[in-house]
Structure 1
Amino acid sequence: MEETTQPEKKTEIATFAGGCFWCMVKPFHKYEGVLEVVSGYTGGHVPNPTYEQVCSETTGHYEAVQVTFDPDVISYPEILNIFWQSIDPTDAGGQFGDRGSSYKTAIFYHSEQQKEQAQRSKEEIQHNGPFETPIVTPILPAATFYPAEAYHQDYYKKNANHYNRYFVGSGRAGFLERHWRKG
């Protein structure tokens, strides 16, 4: 019998900070071509930070998600659109009920192509709305990504009631509905 080898699935990684990472996993999970979404920490100066360290605002890390996707099924610009429509890109102080540097938004690019596509998408959002105030989300080079503790992974599935209360109570749900879900 002949062995047949399956061609390796091509994957790419996208990394985003969008406030509380619990709220940044679910938006990506529902799309075909998204293979994995991991909550974690990036952009700081302390190796292997814990949640408590990051929350102390002393490590320089952002709460972030790392999205592994198949670019033959879903493109990086499509992944960027999911990101933009999950945040308030005009808030420089955090996201919704979460304030501080660990909750700021950012796009972390893994290649020059991602950087260019992110810059184009940011310019498009700035010029075409839905916001009249400046888009403050920075586009930064990817840094080491540290997966968060296991209890943070897929939080929206493991703790659905708490997640849903938080999603609404933080103000995120209403904001996204008002700004992105029109028409």
Structure 2
Amino acid sequence: MQILILGLALWWVSHLFKRVAPGARARMGVMPGKMLVTVLSLAAIGLMVIGYRRAGFEPVYTPMAGMGHLNNLLMLIAVFLMGVPHSKGIVKSKLRHPMLTGVAVWSVGHLLVNGDVASLVLFGGIGIWAVLSMVLINSQESWTPPARGRLKSDVIGLAIALVVYAVIAGIHIWLGRNPFLGTYG
């Protein structure tokens, strides 16, 4: 569990550094700052994966029957939202923080189907980070929505999201965590 918590802490520090210490981050320069965040993020992900896989199963609650279906829908939505900033669709003009919203949706979906301590730490911790990030950004920066895009771009984004979702599901199955088997009673 300590490795998981260390990875989560490293994720928070690397991603909130710009928001809580903007002067220090600015002094680093754009590329060195981005490189530092990238390296720390990769290390954080590695630690979180290792820590989560090593954590023993300590149940806190039993997920409700049927939540696997809702989780899978939420995961598709989360994957779609992660790609929205790279599109020129309608959704981009409506959501200020599509990627962070996608992370929050991902977090909630995983908490619906995982009721153990390690899952609460990992998914809850990342979800709280996403919400906190949105609050900090909103308090520090104004937002002008981009021009309304085309529905065609959102449809293409959804098609790409389906492919990425299939790859992610395949990786989960390969790792022994089939997303299509849990809490479907």
TM-score (norm. length: structure 1): 0.26
Query: Rg larger in 1 or in 2?
Result: 2
Which structure dedicates a bigger proportion of its chain to helix?
2
TM-score (norm. length: structure 2): 0.26
Which structure dedicates a bigger proportion of its chain to strand?
1
